Amino acid sequence: MISKIGKIQKIANAQNVAPIALNTSLPISLKVSEKIGFNRYILKFANRNLNTKSAKQLDIGANYWAEIESNNENILIKNMFKKPEILNFGILPQGLNLIERVIKENDLAWFYEHICDSLMNAKDKESFKIYTDMFLALQEKIVHIPFLYNEIYGIFQFKKGQKESAFYLAFSNFAPILFRLDEKGIVSISTPFKKVANLLNYEFSCKIETCQISPLWDKSGKIIDIKG
């Protein structure tokens, strides 16, 4: 599993060689700084502020992935895809180790115990928030692990089914990807961006789809249900 995460980051790193140069082969990260008029926004990209028009309403202060095209002095931004809020929260230093064990072991009783123990013994507010999110996801039978890979924030989510399982992977610097697996291996990979799908075809031999995807779990409106 870590090798698959490494493959994704190898692709993602291609867009980070020069912080200001426009890389049109992969989605970029943008932040909506402000709205300055009807359908007009200021977008922050690296060290640039881009004045752009969008027929789609954008959320002020939100982060997006987007495809970008450059032609002389003109910059076209398209296919903006809002980043999930869960990417804005903390990470677990040991997150990659947890991911590896979750994938290898069929019985996740140890994981439930680890989350509960860590939640009760959290030494700071940040750790408590992270383990609370993980606990809430477990209530919906979804493994949710924030992690750090080569200094890049990431989110891993896993849901096990009887015949087919799924895991969602997103990095702060790269488009989200949804993997579907069966007992033989990866069945398909989905991503919202055609350019990403084309690059994934070089790294994976399974079916690659371009479609809208969402995290398997998010924290919107979630509360802790304590019984007993």
Is residue 167 a part of any domain in this protein?
A: yes
| 73, 165: one domain | no
> What does the pLDDT read at residue 226?
36
Number of compact structural domains in the chain? 2
Is residue 226 a part of any domain in this protein?
A: no
- How far apart are the C-alpha atoms of 156 and 177, rounded to whole Å? 10
| 91, 178: one domain | yes
Is residue 217 a part of any domain in this protein?
A: no
| 96, 196: one domain | yes
Q: Which of 83, 117, 135 is the last residue of a domain?
A: 83
Low-confidence ranges of the chain (pLDDT < 70): 1-25, 71-74, 220-228
Does the reported pTM lie above 0.75? yes
Q: Which of 32, 58, 83 is the last residue of a domain?
A: 83
Output b/e per residue, 120-152; b: 16+ Cβ within 10 A. eeeeeeeebebbbbbbbbbeeebbbbbbebeeb
Cα 164 to chain centroid, rounded: 21
The pLDDT tens digits for 128-152 are: 999 999 999 999 999 999 998 888 8
| 43, 122: one domain | no
Is residue 121 a part of any domain in this protein?
A: yes
- Enclosing domain of residue 74: 17-83
The pLDDT tens digits for 124-133 are: 999 999 999 9
Is residue 189 a part of any domain in this protein?
A: yes
Is residue 215 a part of any domain in this protein?
A: no
Average pLDDT, the chain: 84
Is residue 224 a part of any domain in this protein?
A: no
